[in-house]
């Protein structure tokens, strides 16, 4: 590796992709791209390895995304300058696309008639058809309900748009003009990368540029390995849950992280089968950044100068069983896959907490609720699909500082939509969008505050959908004696003053005057609350985030005349501090503790692995019938009872009579 060439090329490549990302951002049409910024573009080698990825705008979730699942569909001998290939098919691309709404494009880049790179881009399309506006409802059970699905196909050939493919897109979207505007922004961004990369070849020579591609990935790999070496060797396990739509319906994400020198392997065996709802996704067989983002963030935190490319993934391997909820099979629905992605992130962070002597951080809010409204535009009289806002919640407390108010680090790239834009583009009035006082998990380093979003419908009718909402039943966990976080809550108030609690939004009709209130979860905290600096508690009180009563109750801090009474605080804390109690490494909260007692983790892992032995059709039927049985169960589950449960339902599915004396009862 030539260090000077590497530094120059890293700088140049970064400038190319940052300019393209800005071009896409500034020329996009939909709120979800131009304001929320759920999009990105990058440069990859002809082999499909991303060597340059932006960080100034757009999402960072897909740093180093392997493009092989798209490129395997291409006939390289027939590619020509100006071609663009489009797809939104998770199954055909084996996880390059993680749900159908992420419309993805690649453009071959040629130099002197030879392929030297690919430009890549995606946007989250606001609507690609399907059963509801926005194409996503958590209640969907099949990908066919989620709209159009196209395996890799030429949208542009030699610079000329294929009108047939364009018309297929137009004919299947409720927001065709706006979505096509986003796609034109993608085309412009990729054309920019093509032009700029060729300009680099003009200046430095093609051989130097191609060598630079490999150099910057090798540098990123070296930086990643240096960080991984500081993680103690060993195998560390963790489990967390995606909350399904049914009563007592919980799906486990289980991971074993094995650290060996400068390499890490993640094994997700023991993760539950894909769900009969839209929380699934595909990660394929290659190391996928969506799966290992928790470790990627640690690497980039400790090596902030590391190039953002596929080299970061080279020391990391992974395995996720086919048919599991994070590596699902056709026809799994995936529109709400962000909820499962968040739980994977939490599970990886849980492993790192066990591996690092002082831990790392508590779980964040674990929710990315993307609210979409469909209503008649009062100005144009036409149906309009609009993203209202992503709503997340407070981040988890960290080893050296508090969690971030109102945002979870895993989804920190999603930006808020100003209330003025929401009110101008929709029939909704934003009554409240603010931090929720006294919602943080108390700790030495507290969580960030939760968020409350209150929307009033001013139209005759509107339809709300929301994806990614979770943490209604299991709290975000605390670490090193920190407290578990706050649960989410949704309510609907009608114009007659009556109110109802909503467990989850799937498809929610609103009448004029209805008020929807969403209160997010808040993450867990790090360390015992009585170890928090009283000055920090006072600062939170002064900012209105913590009440004086909460300061006394949760932190033992006595505030008199706007100041901390140090002596009274010390007496209060000493009187209430637990005697000889070592802080718990992980604090799950009472709901999870009760669940673990009834369904111990080894039994859950065994049951998940057992179900994944069945074929896709049988497994799907088993999941649907076993979950309600488990929800009704009041006695602890052991491995023998789990096996018996599977066998009894298999007999039902296969119409086989039970053996003499076999039980059909639920204990």
Q: Which residue has the tokens 């599970």?
A: 347
How does pLDDT run across 603-659, given as a tens digit for each residue?
999 999 999 999 988 999 999 899 888 988 899 999 999 999 999 999 988 886 555
How does pLDDT run across 223-279, given as a tens digit for each residue?
999 999 999 999 999 999 999 998 889 999 999 999 999 999 999 999 999 999 999
How does pLDDT run across 283-315, given as a tens digit for each residue?
999 999 999 999 999 999 999 999 999 999 999
CA atoms within 13 A on the CB side of 378: 12
665 burial (CB, 10 Å; 0-12 / 13-18 / 19+) is exposed
How does pLDDT run across 363-416, given as a tens digit for each residue?
999 999 888 899 988 778 888 888 888 899 999 999 999 999 999 888 877 888
How does pLDDT run across 188-197, given as a tens digit for each residue?
999 999 999 9
What is the rounded average pLDDT for all residues in the chain? Answer: 94
Q: Is the pLDDT of residue 88 over 80?
A: yes
Across 155-168, average pLDDT: 97
Full-model pTM: 0.94
Q: Select from 655, 454, 439 the least CA-distant residue to 544.
A: 439
Cβ atoms of 642 and 635 within 8 Å: the answer is no
Question: For residue 266, what are the β-bridge partners?
Answer: 257, 318
Q: Is the pLDDT of residue 567 over 50?
A: yes
How does pLDDT run across 479-514, given as a tens digit for each residue?
999 999 999 999 999 988 899 998 888 889 999 999
How does pLDDT run across 208-226, given as a tens digit for each residue?
999 999 999 999 999 999 9
Question: For residue 371, what are the β-bridge partners?
Answer: 389, 466
Q: What's the confidence (pLDDT) of residue 657?
A: 53
Q: What's the confidence (pLDDT) of residue 75?
A: 96
Q: Is the pLDDT of residue 471 over 60?
A: yes
Count each helix (H run) and each strand (E run) in the chain, helices first: 16, 24
Q: What is the per-residue burial (b if ≥16 Cβ within 10 Å, else e) of 120-159?
A: bbbbbbbbbbbebbbbbbbbbeebebbbbbbebebbbbee
Across 64-91, average pLDDT: 97
214 burial (CB, 10 Å; 0-12 / 13-18 / 19+) is middle
Percent of the chain clearing pLDDT 90 (strictly above): 84
Choice among 166-175, 336-345, 371-380, 628-637 with the minimum mean pLDDT: 371-380
584 burial (CB, 10 Å; 0-12 / 13-18 / 19+) is middle
Q: What's the confidence (pLDDT) of residue 665?
A: 45
Q: Select from 636, 647, 642 the least CA-distant residue to 606.
A: 642
Q: What's the confidence (pLDDT) of residue 661?
A: 52
Q: What's the confidence (pLDDT) of residue 656?
A: 62
Two tokens, residue 244:
């399904």
Across 419-434, average pLDDT: 93
Task: Give the pLDDT band of residue 664 (cuts 50, 70, 90).
Answer: very low
How does pLDDT run across 121-146, given as a tens digit for each residue?
999 999 999 999 899 999 999 999 99
């Amino acid at each position: 590796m030539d260090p000077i060439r590497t530094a120059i090329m890293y700088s140049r490549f970064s400038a190319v992709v940052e300019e393209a990302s800005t071009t896409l951002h500034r020329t996009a049409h939909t709120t979800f791209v131009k304001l929320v910024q759920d999009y990105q573009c990058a440069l990859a080698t002809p082999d499909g390895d991303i060597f340059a990825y932006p960080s100034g705008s757009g999402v960072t979730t897909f740093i180093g995304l392997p493009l092989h699942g798209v490129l395997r569909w291409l006939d390289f001998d027939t590619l020509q300058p100006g071609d663009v290939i489009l797809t939104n098919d998770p199954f055909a691309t084996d996880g390059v696309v993680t749900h159908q709404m992420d419309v993805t494009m690649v453009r071959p880049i040629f130099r002197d008639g030879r392929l030297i790179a690919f430009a890549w881009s995606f946007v989250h399309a606001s609507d690609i058809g399907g059963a509801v506006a926005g194409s996503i409802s958590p209640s969907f059970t099949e990908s066919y309900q989620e709209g159009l699905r196209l395996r890799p196909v030429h949208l542009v050939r030699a610079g000329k748009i294929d009108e047939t493919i364009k018309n297929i897109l137009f004919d299947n979207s409720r927001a065709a003009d706006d979505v096509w505007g986003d796609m034109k922004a993608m085309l412009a961004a990729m054309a920019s990368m093509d032009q700029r990369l060729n300009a680099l070849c003009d200046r430095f020579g093609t051989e130097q540029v191609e060598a630079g591609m490999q150099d910057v990935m090798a540098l990123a790999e070296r930086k990643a390995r240096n960080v991984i070496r500081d993680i103690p060797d060993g195998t560390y396990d963790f489990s967390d849950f995606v909350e399904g739509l049914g009563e007592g319906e919980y799906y486990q994400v289980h991971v074993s992280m094995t650290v060996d020198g400068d390499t890490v392997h993640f094994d997700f065996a023991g993760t539950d089968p894909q769900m009969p709802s839209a929380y699934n996704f595909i990660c394929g067989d290659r190391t996928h950044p969506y799966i290992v983002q928790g470790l990627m963030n640690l690497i980039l935190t400790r090596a902030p100068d590391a190039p953002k490319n596929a080299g970061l993934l080279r020391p990391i391997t992974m395995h996720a069983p086919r048919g599991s909820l994070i590596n699902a099979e056709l026809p799994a629905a995936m529109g709400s896959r962000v909820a499962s992605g968040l739980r994977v992130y939490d599970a990886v962070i849980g492993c790192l907490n066990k591996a690092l002597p002082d831990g790392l951080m508590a779980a964040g809010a674990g929710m990315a609720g993307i609210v979409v409204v469909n209503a008649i535009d009062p100005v144009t009289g036409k149906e309009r699909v609009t993203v209202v806002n992503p709503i997340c919640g407070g981040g988890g407390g960290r080893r050296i500082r508090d969690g971030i108010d109102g945002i979870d680090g895993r989804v920190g790239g999603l930006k808020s939509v100003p209330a003025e834009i929401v009110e101008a583009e929709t029939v909704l009035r934003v009554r409240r969008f603010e931090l929720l006082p006294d919602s943080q998990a108390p700790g030495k380093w507290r969580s960030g505050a939760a968020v409350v979003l209150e929307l009033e419908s001013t139209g005759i009718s509107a339809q709300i959908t929301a994806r990614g909402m979770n943490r209604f039943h299991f709290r975000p966990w605390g670490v090193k004696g920190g407290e578990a976080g706050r649960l989410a809550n949704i309510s609907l108030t009608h114009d007659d003053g009556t109110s109802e609690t909503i467990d989850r939004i799937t498809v929610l009709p609103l009448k004029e005057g209805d008020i929807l209130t969403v209160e997010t979860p808040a993450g867990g905290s790090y360390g015992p609350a009585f170890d928090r600096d009283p000055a920090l508690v006072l600062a939170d009180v002064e900012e209105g985030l913590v009440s004086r009563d909460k300061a006394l109750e949760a932190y033992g801090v006595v505030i008199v005349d706007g100041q901390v009474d140090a002596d009274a605080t010390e007496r209060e804390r000493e009187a209430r501090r637990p005697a000889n109690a070592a802080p718990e490494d992980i604090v799950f909260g009472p709901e999870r503790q009760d669940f673990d007692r009834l369904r111990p983790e080894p039994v859950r892992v065994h049951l998940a692995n057992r179900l994944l032995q069945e074929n896709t059709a049988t497994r799907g039927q088993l999941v649907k019938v076993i979950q309600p049985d488990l929800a009704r169960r009041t006695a602890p589950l052991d491995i023998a009872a789990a096996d018996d449960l599977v066998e009894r339902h298999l007999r039902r599915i296969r119409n086989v009579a039970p053996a003499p004396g076999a039980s059909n009862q639920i204990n």
